[in-house]
Amino acid sequence: MAGLAGSVAELDAVVSVCRACPRLVTWRETVATEGKRASFADQPYWGRPGPGFGDPAPAILVIGLAPAANGTNRTGRMFTGDRSGDWLYAALHRAGYASQPTSTDAGDGQSLTGVRIVAAVRCAPPGNKPDPAERHTCGFWLDRDLALAAPGLRSMLALGAIAWDATLASARRLGWVVQRPRPRFTHGAETTMVTTTDRSIRLVGSYHVSQQNTFTGRLTETMLDEVLAGL
């Protein structure tokens, strides 16, 4: 299905009806019905895979881990409606890529210029932990995102080690030349890959914008701003 998408719009439409991972389909739909957070109980939940969001011809792809159960799985937009998204969109706004510093719901008027946000896994996983088979299966959607973005792509920002590894795996499946041995993730890690049309694209790593990192000071606004400024 992913390979048939001829445009970003088609890709986003098709991924949103994917049911390839039984455990994640059950989880995303259960959260969206009887498992809603109490503070959102009166809201309809998206309850489907999170499509990419942003510029359809981006210079920068931001790759997250997976939707949050009460964030993207509720709002239907990547990194929208949770604390992680608050951090990411505020930073993208400071860097000049986002029209607004917040992203609260799919109808809030937010837009991105030059940036598209996707994820290594498109369905909310229990405990924010997709298993290896789910990561592999969902990688084919990421492959298509990379392939469609490649003609204008300058940099990719992987938020966390899972996104870093997923992006490298996608690049290899696409036949891009990737550094060997596999470069390891850390905050500020960087590697360059070469596409089948000889375009060089940088992959940069950042600690994920999860509360686990931002509340503890492991990732500060300054650290994230510096990474974005270098893309």
Tokens of 82: 């949770």
SS3 35: coil
Q: Which residue, 121 or 228, has its beta carbon nearer to ligand SF4?
A: 121
Give the footprint of ligand SF4 on residues 126-145 (CB under 6 A). Answer: 134, 137-138, 141
Where does residue 204 rank: exposed (0-12), middle (13-18), buried (19+ CB within 10 A)?
buried
Q: Contact region for ligand SF4 (CB under 6 A) — 121-129, 150-158, 160-168, 203-211?
A: 121-129
- 24-46 in b/e form (b: 16+ CB < 10 A) is bbebbbebbeeebeeeeeeeebb
| Neighbouring-strand partners of residue 53 | 117
Q: Which residue, 32 or 91, has its beta carbon nearer to ligand SF4?
A: 32
Binding residues with ligand SF4: total (CB under 6 A)? 15
Residues, the chain: 231
Tell me if the bond preceding 126 is cis, omega within 30° of 0.
Answer: no
State the minimum distance, in angstroms, from the CB of residue 25 to ligand SF4: 6
162 binds ligand SF4 (CB under 6 A): no
Give the footprint of ligand SF4 on residues 6-35 (CB under 6 A). Answer: 15, 18-21, 24-25
Binding positions for ligand SF4, rule: CB under 6 A:
15, 18-21, 24-25, 49, 121-123, 134, 137-138, 141
